[in-house]
Amino acid sequence: MSDLGPDAALLRSARLAFENDPPARIGLAVSGGGDSMAALHLMVQVFGPSLCAVTVDHQLRPEAAEEARFVAGVCAGLGVPHQVLVWDHGTIPGNLQDQARRARYGLMQDWAAGQGIGAMVLAHTADDQAETLLMGLARGAGIDGLAGMRPRWQAGGLCWLRPFLSHTRQELRHYLLRHGQDWRDDPSNEDDRFTRVKARRALRALAPLGVTAGRLAAVAGHLAQAQHALDCAVDAAIAAHGHQVAGAIAFDRAAIMALPAEVVRRLLVAVLRGNGGAGHPPRGGDLDRLQVAIRQGRAATLAGCRLLHKGPRLWLCREGRAVAGLASPSDALWDRRWRLNGPHRPGLEIRALGAAGLALCPDWRGLNLPRPVLLSSPAIWDQGRLIAAPLAGKANGWQAICPAVTASCNIAH
């Protein structure tokens, strides 16, 4: 198809998704709705044999299975490999849409890893971006909640992309209509029990004021630039005043407290989420209490992390109780962030070092690390016998690696 036609901008966005460096295999989430079906037809034109599609059946609506079959049929006609993933669940506590979103991302991440897929494409549009901003306004959100969805991020060993955020839902549906392609509407998209549906209706009501999806998406983009500037300031503060070691981070207390309040707040959130793995930042009141503890030189715990003071430094590390029961095979991810390299064999497990393990590491005091940092560090165990504690002076051929904390830990999907 010529780039001179009405599809030019959409095809260009698809091509630019990977900045001319696409992975060998690309995953695409396809629900059967207009956005994802348009993305399927556009992406297959650009990436052809590299594309694989996946549909998640949340088992929340009887129509979902038929929608998955519809997607499978279209994919078969296009020569695109397709798989349906089913979310097996019982009673769903709390926020249904949030729980479904978390399950969807987890299923897709595991599927992509098993298929050797290096990137996952999502078909969110400017309308989704605008709705997200409105929902953030309703919550009284700060800049992170108003900056909208990220066009690109890394998580779970995957590059996640949203190449169509600058295009409206209408543009994608018009593309399908021009080419005689069908889609399936999800009836829950009109169910105003859900906050996003309420935001969608509010957006229609705001249109006469000129408050359109495109305008709000542009506002979210401006806020994302401001967010990026703050994140750069946080990363600079971590580099200048922080020392990351053994999965913990130590700061010069006086230097941190001299920083602007918003930079300090974002820095703490980044460390808490990076070390604790929480899906959401702590509540404002809890974060305020943590900052009071820092000023007063007191110990504290929050979001699975522990605040310690040692001389002029404050330390933030994983809380021992949060990892006391966690166990993973030695070649698997532990506590969502640790990988251990060494002589793997069946039966070896990664568990927290704990007090019993630390007692078997006579050289740990020479490391000049606070005891709680080492208690929550990963160790290799075999049927209750300590094999290695690579961060506590008992490496025995093992190495422990975890990602560094950066400001990107502040940002949701």
CATH of the domain at 270: 1.20.59.20
Percentage above 70 pLDDT, the chain: 97
> Are the beta carbons of 400 and 387 closer than 8 angstroms?
no
Q: How many domains does the chain have?
A: 3
Structural domain ending residue among the three candidates 183, 212, 241 = 212
Percentage above 90 pLDDT, the chain: 77
* Residue 63, pLDDT score: 86
Average pLDDT estimate for 371-378: 97
Contacts of range 148-155, beta carbons closer than 8 Å, 24 or more positions apart: 148/217, 148/220, 148/221, 148/223, 148/224, 149/124, 149/220, 149/413, 150/224, 150/411, 150/413, 153/408, 153/411, 153/413, 155/109, 155/413
Structural domain ending residue among the three candidates 182, 212, 242 = 212
Residue 406's pLDDT band, with cuts at 50, 70 and 90, is: confident
pLDDT digits (tens, 9 = 90+) for 217-254: 999 999 999 999 999 999 999 999 999 999 999 999 99
In a domain? residue 194:
yes
Both 91 and 240 in a single domain?
Answer: no
- Strands across the sheet with 327-329, in order? 327-329, 348-352, 378-382, 385-388
* Residue 290, pLDDT score: 95
Both 341 and 310 in a single domain?
Answer: no
Both 325 and 313 in a single domain?
Answer: no
Both 199 and 331 in a single domain?
Answer: no
Q: Which residues contact 177 (CB under 8 A, 6 or more apart)?
A: none
Q: How far apart are CA 392 and CA 356, in angstroms?
A: 13
Both 154 and 246 in a single domain?
Answer: no
Both 136 and 70 in a single domain?
Answer: yes
> Are the beta carbons of 12 and 3 closer than 8 angstroms?
yes
- Cα angle value 319/324/328 (rounded, 5°): 115
* Residue 4, pLDDT score: 56
Mean pLDDT of the chain: 91
Does 389 have pLDDT greater than 90? yes
Does 41 have pLDDT greater than 90? yes
Both 313 and 326 in a single domain?
Answer: no
The residue range of the domain holding 248 is: 220-318+406-410
Residue 1's pLDDT band, with cuts at 50, 70 and 90, is: very low
Q: What are phi and psi of 398, to 5 degrees?
A: -110, 150
In a domain? residue 3:
no
Q: How many CA atoms lie within 13 A of 318 on its CB side?
A: 29
* Residue 144, pLDDT score: 87
* Residue 409, pLDDT score: 66
pLDDT digits (tens, 9 = 90+) for 257-307: 999 999 999 999 999 998 887 767 888 899 999 999 999 999 999 999 999
* Residue 413, pLDDT score: 54
In a domain? residue 1:
no
Both 57 and 157 in a single domain?
Answer: yes
Both 236 and 166 in a single domain?
Answer: no
Residue 75's pLDDT band, with cuts at 50, 70 and 90, is: very high
In a domain? residue 204:
yes
In a domain? residue 30:
yes
Both 125 and 57 in a single domain?
Answer: yes
In a domain? residue 334:
yes
**Which CATH number covers residue 157?**
3.40.50.620
Average pLDDT estimate for 77-101: 84
Structural domain ending residue among the three candidates 180, 212, 244 = 212
In a domain? residue 137:
yes
Average pLDDT estimate for 324-340: 94
* Residue 259, pLDDT score: 95
In a domain? residue 179:
yes
Both 173 and 277 in a single domain?
Answer: no
Residue 349's pLDDT band, with cuts at 50, 70 and 90, is: very high
Both 207 and 226 in a single domain?
Answer: no
* Residue 77, pLDDT score: 97
